Amino acid sequence: MALKRYAATLRRNLKAPRDVVWALVADTNRWNRASGLAPGKYTWKVVDGRRRYVGAAKELGQSLVWYEPPYEWSEGYFIEGSRHFISGPAKGGGLVLKLEDAPDGTTLVDATSWFTGEGAVMLMLGGIVRRRNVAALARYLDTIESTLARGVALDRVALEGGATDTRKGADREPAVVRARRSLMASYDVVVSGVRSPSDEVELRHRAEKLVRAGAVEPALIERLVTLLAERPDEELSQIRPFEIAHVWGADKREVLRLFLHATRAGLVDLRWQVNCPVCRVSAGVAEGLADVGKAVHCEACDVSYNVDFGRHVEAVFQSNPAVRRTYPAVYCASSPALRPHVLVQLQVPAGDERTVAAGLPLGELHLRALGLAATTDIELDAPPGTLRAVFSADAVRVTAEGHASHGMSQLVIRNEHSDTITVLVERGGWSADAVLGSVVATFPDFLDIFATEAPATGVDLAISNLALLFSDLTGSTALYERVGDARAFAIVEEHFREMEKAVTAHGGAVVKTMGDAVMATFASPVDAVRAAIAMVAANETQHAGLGLGVKLGVHAGACLAVRANERLDFFGTTVNVAARLQAQAKAGELVVTEELAAHPVVRTLLDAHPHRPFEAALKGIAALQRLVGIQLVPQHAGTPLSETAAPSAAG
């Protein structure tokens, strides 16, 4: 029996700019849910000699198995995706969405849902499925219209960093990310998905426990209660605190504190998501740091890579099952909304060339093809009329020509390989607003609440860059002799509280104290230097009259997150150097490398302070190190750092 094609097509004018409409229609996961399709279960399998993303579901009493070739899209212009059925009466199906500007500033949307099949079952079901798809398309576009009519603040998308934004240095945040946050402000079962019931008694009981702990503002706790009770399962299975902070208009660090303390109260659970550095999509989720290995395999990219705890591991949260058990479902695993950093994804046959319209933002773009090692980065100072990219066996050659008209460029991709390739054009300067390992490693509440959350014994997780500060108290021995043990101990404890307060105020976290010394972590050396200045100032105010001083060292670079004494700790050359810089300091002095002292921001912070350039041998480092000691307690006149420190790049 001949293969028969069934298609449902609608054309609709939506009263919003094209970027705003794209932000809504690009979530094909939402489209499949709205159309009444059953959720699928996806795995990677070899089909016809190729690795395929294979899905399975039951539709209208029929068991279906299919694979999805990579979807194609150009942000703001079109989406085309398909399914190739391995079993069941259907042979193929797909969705095509095309967007174009209307003269009055609105957007014309052409939507087509199609499928093919053969056999008696398909003859019986074909008409039913087609009518259902016509109704589903109308429902989907009606939902988008009603969303726009509700006044959801999506019109900012086109003005603040959409694909057609031509301002140099403009916010490069993808439109679909802004749309997702805007849609989190309301609930609609078609837009948002199902909402399983919560245990109201347990939710309130645990929230009251969190209130009694007094660590978080009650107003934030109440917002969390509302979130856990009212948001759909899809959102509560992977909660990103910084994203929630955007939605609430709240401070990011305070919202992260809320979730960390809510974990202790049993409202939410912490999970560790390992994100692939190539595709930027989750390659796995672990329940604890002890379950995160040194290396991870990304099935989507079919590559293995060493895990960088600071850059690849993300802290995500989900509702605790006792409060609310969620049942998230995947309706479309290939949705562009799941890869918001990808501007264009396009399949190009061997020896062929394809041209599509594209809105290319200014700044860095990354071009690559799935499964190929060759990549390239380009920097756009102005949107080109045409951007040409040629993919060969060992290189990607890119040229930009002319100037774009009304923000629209022509993207021309040529494939010189012997097989079809899937090309991606990605934002190079944007990443998801994630709570990465580099954040939690410098967050005091995490180190307190999750004191025993650490890598497995014998596993060291690399962190590509972390700033370490070591401080030591001088004059404490004489203090004990002068005022007695009890009084001196109380003074030293007060000193530690002041040091921790200064560290926390500048975005750092105290990892541990060792005798009179403090070890703290920071996301950047600039924050560490600011904290060092504050620490010395606090000691001068509180304890200088007692003969106590503080000496400090700051260094930044790669290190290892490890388990030591059943706690999270940090080791490596960077840690050792920071400790040995502190050992070189005098009372009231911060010692850094000459390279760090030349960092523009650090130099500005320290320019007003006397300093002493010197060389020293640091234990474990073969060569003499060129160092700078900055006297943060003025004792003598000195030369500003800007006149002597060599201008070199700092870590």
**For position 36, which CATH number holds?**
3.30.530.20
DSSP state, residue 300 = T
Q: Are residues 12 and 138 in the same domain?
A: yes
Q: Bridge-partner residues for 224, per DSSP?
A: none
Q: Are residues 365 and 459 in the same domain?
A: no
Q: How far apart are CA 317 and CA 309, in angstroms?
A: 17
**Tokens read off for 279:** 């595709």
pLDDT in tens, 444-455: 999 888 878 888
3-state SS assignment for residue 633? coil
pLDDT at residue 629, rounded to an integer: 96
pLDDT at residue 651, rounded to an integer: 34
Q: How far apart are CA 367 and CA 346, in angstroms?
A: 11
Q: Are residues 144 and 16 in the same domain?
A: yes
Q: Return the amino acid letter for 67.
A: Y
pLDDT at residue 388, rounded to an integer: 96
Number of domains in the chain: 4
Q: Are residues 140 and 68 in the same domain?
A: yes
3-state SS assignment for residue 129? helix
Q: Are residues 209 and 86 in the same domain?
A: no
Beta-carbon contacts of 502 under 8 Å, excluding residues fewer than 6 positions away, are 531, 534, 535, 538
- Asked whether the beta carbons of 31 and 137 are under 8 A apart, the reply is no
Q: Are residues 397 and 543 in the same domain?
A: no
Q: Are residues 543 and 626 in the same domain?
A: yes
**Tokens read off for 488:** 């001196």
Instruction: Give, in order, the Cα–Cα distances in Å from 212 to each of 209, 253, 259, 451.
Output: 5, 21, 15, 21
**For position 504, which CATH number holds?**
3.30.70.1230
Return the beta strands (E) in 277-335 as ranges: 282-286, 295-298, 303-306, 313-319
* H/E run at residue 363: strand 363-369
* H/E run at residue 192: helix 189-192
Provide the 10 A C-beta neighbour count for residue 165: 21
Instruction: Give, in order, the Cα–Cα distances in Å from 133 to each of 4, 81, 83, 115, 239.
Output: 16, 15, 15, 10, 32
Q: Among residues 463, 540, 575, 554, which one has the least CA distance to residue 503? A: 554
Angle at 455 between CA 454 and CA 456, to 5 degrees: 120
Per-residue b or e along 305-318, where b marks 16 or more CB atoms closer than 10 Å to that residue's CB: bebbbbbbbbbbbb
DSSP state, residue 106 = -
Q: Are residues 97 and 50 in the same domain?
A: yes
Q: Among residues 196, 193, 216, which one has the least CA distance to residue 206? A: 216
> Does the residue 402 lie in any domain?
yes
**Tokens read off for 595:** 């390279």
pLDDT at residue 643, rounded to an integer: 45
Q: Bridge-partner residues for 461, per DSSP?
A: 561
Q: How far apart are CA 352 and CA 348, in angstroms?
A: 6
pLDDT at residue 142, rounded to an integer: 83
Q: Are residues 24 and 123 in the same domain?
A: yes
Q: Are residues 126 and 78 in the same domain?
A: yes
Block mean pLDDT (10 aa), the chain, length 651: 79 90 87 78 88 86 87 96 83 91 92 81 68 79 79 44 40 79 78 89 96 95 96 93 93 95 94 91 88 88 89 94 91 90 95 95 92 91 94 93 88 94 90 88 88 80 91 94 92 94 94 93 94 95 91 94 85 93 95 94 91 90 90 62 41 34
- Residue 486 sits in which domain range? 451-643
pLDDT at residue 155, rounded to an integer: 39
DSSP state, residue 40 = B
3-state SS assignment for residue 65? strand
Q: Are residues 383 and 285 in the same domain?
A: no
> Does the residue 437 lie in any domain?
no
DSSP state, residue 239 = B
**Tokens read off for 222:** 């109440």
**Tokens read off for 556:** 């930044």
* pTM, entire model: 0.83
